[in-house]
Amino acid sequence: MATLPPSTSQQIADAAGLDERYVREWLGGLSAAGIVRYDPARVTFEFPRSHAAVLTRAAGPDNLAQLMQYIPMLGGVEDRVLESLQHGGGLDYAEYPRFQATMAEESATVNDAVLVDGILPLVPGLPDRLTAGIDVLDVGCGSGHAINLMAKAFPASRFVGYDFSAEGIANARAEAAEWGLTNTRFEAVDVAGVDEPGHFDLVTAFDAVHDQAHPARVLANIRSALREDGVFLMVDIKASSNVEDNAALPWGSYLYAISMFHCMSVSLGLDGDGLGTVWGTQLAERMLGDAGFTDVAIVDVPADPFNAYFVARP
């Protein structure tokens, strides 16, 4: 619809190769929500360019519709969450079959746009060090796209990705092979058990720490894994640790829903701390300090309004 003039439901259905009756009902809902504009005189529907700018894949990191893919997925575990509300406990990561792919798509839109040229330069001198060649670990690497992007851009550096999802690691290895990368290694491990003191010059964690069963232990392991002149780049949800502050956050209620139906529940399912999505920048900064990071800066990236970027040094 973003490329069509005002059109009838039949014209829209024909253009998309869909059934007209279902398209007509769907358009009625979008019209009632104000997402598309309906002209009753001409019986046409229009998708305004200003709406398309934040509701299509062409919007890149600004695509709000992409986030809504989580809602039907999380609806699939509603009964399990209701059980946990009554009896406590949590859920298993395997109960979210589409989560890995959806998360990979969401993070890729940001990383493809700004990782190499916008995010890594947040650390002064880091691109030059990566060009010369350093050792890098990505904790909770998921499908490994961030690692592969960095490995492609900085062939002299060596990159390792850890994640406990076998599916994610398989996808990471496949992409690295497709790109012909020889400076990457991916392992399916629980990052809470990583014990590699002084092995890395840079450790990254892209939207992963809040999901950990024991984030304090993970942060301590990251601190131990860094060399003394190393740096930790942590990307995590931009929210407050205080409920009252999140009332003014446009996506605050969405974050709490994601937390209750996935992040918190999966952590509790692993007998973890259950911090959830909305652990907040205040708690994150305090936990970084407890892990041994004495120099912590929090930076915003305009292309990624949902996350805060922590640059932490021992």
pLDDT digits (tens, 9 = 90+) for 13-30: 999 999 999 999 999 999
pLDDT band at 251 (very low <50, low <70, confident <90, very high): confident
Predicted confidence at residue 256, as pLDDT, reads: 93
Residue 94 has pLDDT above 90, yes or no: no
Predicted confidence at residue 201, as pLDDT, reads: 98
Predicted confidence at residue 198, as pLDDT, reads: 93
| Three-class secondary structure assignment of 106-132 | HHHHHHHHHHHHHHHHHCCCHHHHHHH
As a whole number, mean pLDDT of residues 199-204 equals 98
CA distance 214 to 273: 6
Torsion of CA 19, 56, 105, 174, to 10 degrees: 70
Please, what is the average pLDDT of the chain? Answer: 92
The three-class DSSP label of residue 149 is: helix
CA distance 136 to 130: 9
Residue 110 has pLDDT above 90, yes or no: no
Lowest mean pLDDT among 110-114, 135-139, 175-179: 110-114
Walk me through the domains of the chain, giving residue ranges and CATH numbers: 9-55 (no CATH), 70-313 (3.40.50.150)
| pTM (2 d.p.) | 0.84
Predicted confidence at residue 181, as pLDDT, reads: 98
Predicted confidence at residue 254, as pLDDT, reads: 87
Q: Which of residues 97 and 35 earns the better pLDDT score? A: 35
What are residue 46's DSSP bridge partners? 37
pLDDT band at 103 (very low <50, low <70, confident <90, very high): confident
Residue in this structure with the two tokens 């690692």, named with its chain if needed: 147
As a whole number, mean pLDDT of residues 31-50 equals 96
Cβ-Cβ contacts under 8 Å for 252 (sequence gap 6 or more): 239, 246, 278
pLDDT band at 72 (very low <50, low <70, confident <90, very high): confident
Predicted confidence at residue 223, as pLDDT, reads: 97
As a whole number, mean pLDDT of residues 250-254 equals 87
Q: What percent of the chain has pLDDT over 90?
A: 71
Predicted confidence at residue 214, as pLDDT, reads: 92
pLDDT band at 304 (very low <50, low <70, confident <90, very high): confident
What are residue 161's DSSP bridge partners? 138, 186
Question: At residue 294, what is the residue type?
Answer: T
Sign (positive/negative) of CA torsion 97, 101, 107, 110? negative
Lowest mean pLDDT among 151-155, 168-172, 193-197: 193-197
pLDDT band at 303 (very low <50, low <70, confident <90, very high): confident
Lowest mean pLDDT among 69-73, 237-241, 255-259, 282-286: 69-73
CA distance 80 to 90: 8
Residue 67 has pLDDT above 80, yes or no: no
Residue in this structure with the two tokens 């809470």, named with its chain if needed: 192
